């Protein structure tokens, strides 16, 4: 009877699973690696696929690839900041990039070398804006601008090249007018009158 009293509490104890851990067999209460194994995702069916349209499926890029693209775009921003304003305008127009990029580049050019953290943040912002640009085109445009190869830039620009050159000439003419008026004192007097 003493043995029966000892056995009965073990049956009602919360530890009977512990004994089953050491016995061979299937353990449904444990996490099974075969049941939870990683499986390739099944292709998701979209509404367009049912109608017979076969668009290329969107491939998710790896984190490393996204980081490479981000650092490449930041490098583009750093290289573009070294160019003159007309060169930057020309490259950005050919690449069909937003006006925000030009404004961000002019801001980073105004920041001095003592504003390291601000420049770093601004270059990261420029890189985020430039990620949408075509990589091959941007690399070619930056390299052609570095080399001063205007014929290569015109080839990359295509038929829009003449209008781009006209706009660049107009912007330099506007800058000369402002510089001439500044030298003559007209702008300084106008600024003082507004105060």
Which pTM was predicted? 0.52
Q: Using CA atoms, how far apart are residues 94 and 153, in angstroms rounded to an integer?
A: 8
Task: Give pLDDT tens digits for 114-171.
Answer: 899 999 999 999 999 998 889 998 998 888 888 887 777 777 777 655 454 555 455 5
* pLDDT at residue 178, rounded to an integer: 43
The CA–CA distances, whole Å, from 6 to 16, 17, 18, 22, 96 equal 14, 18, 17, 21, 84
Q: Tokens representing 191?
A: 């600024």
Q: Domain ranges in the chain? A: 63-176
Helix axes 63-81, 99-110, angle to 10 degrees: 60
* pLDDT at residue 154, rounded to an integer: 77
Task: Give pLDDT tens digits for 27-81.
Answer: 555 555 555 555 566 566 555 555 555 556 678 889 999 999 999 999 999 999 9
* pLDDT at residue 30, rounded to an integer: 53
Q: Is the pLDDT of residue 111 over 50?
A: yes
183 backbone dihedrals φ, ψ, rounded to 5°: -65, -35
Residue 24 DSSP label = S
Nearest CA to 84 out of 174, 180, 183, 172 is that of: 172
* Residue recorded with tokens 């996490």: 31
* pLDDT at residue 179, rounded to an integer: 46
């Amino acid at each position: 009877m003493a043995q029966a009293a000892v056995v009965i509490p073990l049956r009602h104890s919360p530890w009977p699973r512990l004994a089953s851990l050491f016995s061979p067999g299937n353990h449904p209460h444990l996490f099974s690696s075969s049941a939870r194994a990683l499986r390739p995702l099944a292709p998701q069916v979209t509404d367009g696929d049912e109608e017979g349209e076969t668009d290329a499926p969107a491939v998710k890029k790896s984190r490393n690839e996204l980081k490479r693209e981000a650092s490449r775009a930041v490098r583009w921003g750093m290289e573009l900041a070294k160019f003159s304003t007309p060169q930057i305008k020309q490259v950005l127009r050919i690449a069909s990039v937003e006006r925000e990029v030009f404004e961000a580049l002019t801001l980073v050019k105004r920041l001095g070398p003592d504003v390291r953290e601000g420049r770093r943040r601004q270059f990261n912002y420029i890189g985020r804006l430039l990620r949408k640009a075509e990589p091959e085109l941007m690399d070619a445009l930056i390299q052609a601008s570095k080399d001063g190869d205007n014929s290569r830039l015109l080839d990359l620009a295509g038929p829009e090249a003449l209008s781009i050159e006209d706009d660049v000439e107009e912007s330099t003419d506007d800058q000369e007018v402002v510089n001439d008026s500044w030298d003559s004192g007209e702008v300084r007097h106008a600024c003082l009158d507004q105060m």
